[in-house]
A = this chain, B = another copy of it.
Amino acid sequence: MRETIIIEKEKVELKNPVLIEGLPGLGTIGKIVTEYLIKQMKAEMFAELYSPHFSYYVLVDKRGNVRLLRNEFYLWRNESGENDLVILTGDSQAQTIDGQYEVADRILEFAKEKGVRLVITVGGYRDKVKGEPKVIAASTSPTVLKKAVEAGAVNSPNGSPIVGTAGLLVGLADLKGMDALCLLGETLGYMPDPKAAKSILKVLMRLLNFTVDLTDIEKEISHSEETVERMREMEVQKRLSLQKRRKLEKGRITYIG
C-alpha cells in the first residue's frame, strides 16, 4: 500500500448526505459520538479506508482475528427526514504531517463523489467545565455556524486552532466547495468523556433533525462519574496515609535528634 485507499463494500446511492466524522482524540469524544450514533441507528458499514500513514501495527480481537488499522464509513438511511448520514469513525488518525493532509483529502474526495455537501467533524476542546459541557462551533460558512448556534452550540471563545483530522477536514472542505462545521465538546480531556459527547449529540439532533435515544449514553455518564468518584476517594486515602506516614517519620527524626 503506497497511498491512502478506500475500499467500498457496497455501492450506495445517497439522499442529500451529511458526513459526520469522529476519530480518536481529546477525551475520545469524537469516537464516542460516532460509535453511539452507529449503534443506536444500526448504521451499516459500506466502505473502509486504509493508509500507509497509520501506525505500523495490526489489531487482534479476542477470537484471534487480525486486521489493519482503518477508518470506517457507515450509512444511516433517513427514511423520514431530509438527510442520509454518512458516519466516519476508526482506529487511528494519520501519524505524520503530510499523512494527515493526504487522509483528509482522500476522505473528502470520496464524500464529494457520494454527494456530500456538508461535513461535520466532532471532537473535544480542553477547558474547565461548569455544569453541562458547552459545545463550541466553528465553520467555513456563517450560515452553517448560525444554524449550529441555533441548535445549541456556542461560538469559539478565543479562536484557538483545531488540531488533526477534525480540523483539516473542515479547512480542506472549503477548498473543495463543501460547507463544513466543527463541533467540539468542552472537556478536561484526561479520560473518555461521554458527558461532552452527549452535549454534541443533542446539538447534532437539533441541527440535522433526527432523534436517537440517549438512555444508554446517560448510563455511560453515570458509570464514568462513579469511576471518577472512586478515583477521587482513592486519591484522598493515599494523601491521608502519606500525611500519617510523614508525621510518624517526623516524630522518629525528632526522637533520634
Contacts and interface: CB of A to CB of B under 8 A. Distances in A.
Interface of A: 1-2, 7, 50, 52-69, 95-102, 104-105, 137-140, 142, 145, 155-156, 158-164, 167-168, 170-172, 174-175, 180, 182
B171 A68 contact: yes
Which residue among A63, A95, A105, A145 has the maximum number of chain B CB atoms within 10 Å of its CB?
A63
B142 A65 contact: yes
A95 B95 contact: no
Contact of A68 (B52, B62, B172): B172
A167 B162 CA distance: 30
Contacts of A139: 64-66
Nearest to A2: B102
A145 to B, nearest CB: 5
B56 A174 contact: no
A174 B67 contact: yes
A42 B99 CA distance: 37
B159 A56 contact: no
Contacts of A54: 97
Given A57-B163, A162-B58, A164-B56, A66 B155 contact: no
Given A61-B159, A175-B50, A101 B1 contact: yes
A99 B97 CA distance: 10
Given A60-B161, A66-B180, A52 B97 contact: yes
Given A57-B161, A57-B163, A137 B100 contact: no
B64 A155 contact: yes
A98 B167 CA distance: 23
A2 B3 CA distance: 10
Nearest to A182: B66
B60 A142 contact: no
Contact of A167 (B57, B100, B138, B180): B57
Contacts of A59: 159, 161
B58 A171 contact: yes
A242 B17 CA distance: 64
Which 6 residue pairs across A and B have the least CB separation, nearest first? Answer: A52-B101, A68-B171, A56-B100, A58-B171, A58-B167, A52-B98
Nearest to A93: B56
Given A58-B170, A66-B138, A68-B168, 15 more contacts: A1-B105, A1-B175, A7-B175, A52-B102, A56-B100, A56-B101, A56-B164, A58-B161, A58-B162, A60-B156, A60-B160, A65-B145, A66-B140, A66-B167, A68-B171
